[in-house]
């Protein structure tokens, strides 16, 4: 089996669902169910014996040692993280605890487990660390996109904590020979995305008749990838990625935020027009910029395309249409997230703990 950490979050749950749709290999899913972890995302797996869910933290070394010994995974994929830049500005400590200390504890537990494996299992084992393009910092308007050689220049507490975790992963390969591979992916979007991030926030606010807050001038550029394409890249890297290497993952799709927001509004105008006939774009509201806001991210994905033959299946036009359609088709998921009902499962399940 494989061990996935953070598999109740946005990308992790998409990964687990896709994995089990394509493979018979079971998944041990370790997630601490913070506000970002949502068991509703995994509801379709409730009766599936191939999905073993454990609530717990990657910072809990004892638990990790026990789970590794008990389940003997052939690979570990580390998605678990605090992931929202705005939250990292207001409260950076949780980011250090999970992204830095948590990754360290996970690496330690995995290192001891791996070192004691029989030779064949040891030779095929892999630790895949899921990271972000934000570790590279901000690009000027005409600078070439980030390659794997780009210097790390993180600017937010979030990106700094992810950069620290990437460095630890690298060091465990060089020092202990741990068979690691790291991916640095651009901004993801798609189903099951928590509506604190740009695209899902714009969809749910638009439908609720609320303002659509665009930071600063809205001309910050992000490079967007449909989440299922990120998942296919991770499966490919797990299968064939070279140990000790890093792979940038992206869809060559740079767009300013305001264009993203307008695209979402136009799709909603088409698929769920406002009762008063006005365009959703009339709800756009320019607000104070995020402190230290990175101006531009862009991924050069040549290496993963060349070495591993990976390419995204979706264009932005097809992916964003699927995404908007998914939110329109899943009002219950949205309302449970907004009302906090999705967290009741945690309370009920662990009431006695």
* Residues with catalytic roles: 133-134, 158
102 binds ligand NAD (CB under 6 A): yes
Binding of ligand TYD by 257 (CB under 6 A): yes
Question: What is the SS3 assignment for 233?
Answer: helix
Q: Does 190 bind ligand NAD (CB under 6 A)?
A: no
Interaction between residue 187 and ligand NAD (CB under 6 A):
yes
Helix or strand holding residue 63 (H, E): helix 61-71
Q: Which does 345 bind (CB under 5 to 8 A by kind): ligand NAD, ligand TYD, none?
A: none
Sign of CA dihedral 232, 234, 240, 245: positive
Do residues 249 and 183 touch, judged by C-beta distance below 8 A?
A: yes
- The site map against ligand NAD for 16-35 (x = CB under 6 A) is --------------xxxxx-
Minimum Å distance from CB 6 to ligand NAD? 3
In the complex, the smallest distance separating the C-beta of residue 278 from ligand NAD, rounded to whole angstroms, is: 31
CB of 233 to ligand NAD, least distance (A): 11
Choice from 105, 126, 129, 222 touching ligand TYD (CB under 6 A): 222
> Judged by CB under 6 A, does residue 337 bind ligand TYD?
no
80 binding partner (options ligand NAD, ligand TYD, none; Cβ < 5 to 8 Å by kind): ligand NAD
Q: Centre a 10 Å sphere on the Cβ of residue 206 and count the other Cβ atoms it contains.
A: 25
* Sequence-distant (≥ 6) Cβ neighbours of residue 85 within 8 angstroms: 134, 156, 158, 159, 290
In whole angstroms, give the CA distance from residue 85 to residue 35.
15
Block residue for tokens 């749950």: 13
The span from the CA of 172 to the CA of 179, in Å, is 9
What does 110 bind: ligand TYD, ligand NAD, none (CB cut-off 5 to 8 Å by kind)? none
152/197 Cα distance (integer angstroms): 23
> Scanning residues 43 to 102, which ones bind ligand TYD (CB under 6 A)?
85
In the bound complex, what is the minimum distance in angstroms from residue 252's beta carbon to ligand NAD?
16
Q: Order of strands, edge to edge, in the sheet holding 187-189?
A: 187-189, 221-226, 254-256
* 181 is an interface residue for ligand NAD by CB under 6 A: no
């Amino acid at each position: 089996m494989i061990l996935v950490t953070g598999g109740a979050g946005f990308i992790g749950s998409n990964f687990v669902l896709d994995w089990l749709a394509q493979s018979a290999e079971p998944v041990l899913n370790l997630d601490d169910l913070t506000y970002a972890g949502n068991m509703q995302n995994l509801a379709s797996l409730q009766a599936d014996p191939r999905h073993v869910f454990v609530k717990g933290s990657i910072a809990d070394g004892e638990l990790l040692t026990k789970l590794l010994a008990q389940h003997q995974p052939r690979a570990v994929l580390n998605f678990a993280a605090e992931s929202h830049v705005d939250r990292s500005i207001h409260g950076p400590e949780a980011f250090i605890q999970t992204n830095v200390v948590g990754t360290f504890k996970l690496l330690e537990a995995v290192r001891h487990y791996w070192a004691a494996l029989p030779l064949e299992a040891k030779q095929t084992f892999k630790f895949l660390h899921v990271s972000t393009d934000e570790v590279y910092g901000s690009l000027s308007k005409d600078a070439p996109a980030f390659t794997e050689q780009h210097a790390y220049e993180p600017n937010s507490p979030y990106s700094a904590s992810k950069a620290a975790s990437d460095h630890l992963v690298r060091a465990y390969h060089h020092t202990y020979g741990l068979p690691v591979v790291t991916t640095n992916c651009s901004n993801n979007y798609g189903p099951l995305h928590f509506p604190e991030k740009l695209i899902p926030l714009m969809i749910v606010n638009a439908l609720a008749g609320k303002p659509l807050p665009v930071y600063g001038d809205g001309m910050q550029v992000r490079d967007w990838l449909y989440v299922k394409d990120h998942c296919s890249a991770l499966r490919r890297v797990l299968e064939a990625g070279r140990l000790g290497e890093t792979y940038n993952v992206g869809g060559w799709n740079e767009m300013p935020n305001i264009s993203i927001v307008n695209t979402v509004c136009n799709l909603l105008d088409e698929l769920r027009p406002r009762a008063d006939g006005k365009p959703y774009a009339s709800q756009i509201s320019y607000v104070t910029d995020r402190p230290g806001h990175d101006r531009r991210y862009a991924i050069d994905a040549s290496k993963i395309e060349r070495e591993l033959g990976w390419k995204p299946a979706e264009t932005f036009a097809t992916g964003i249409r699927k995404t908007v359609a998914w939110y329109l088709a899943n009002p219950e998921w949205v309302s449970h997230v907004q009302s906090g009902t999705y967290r009741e499962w945690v309370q009920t399940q662990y009431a006695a703990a």
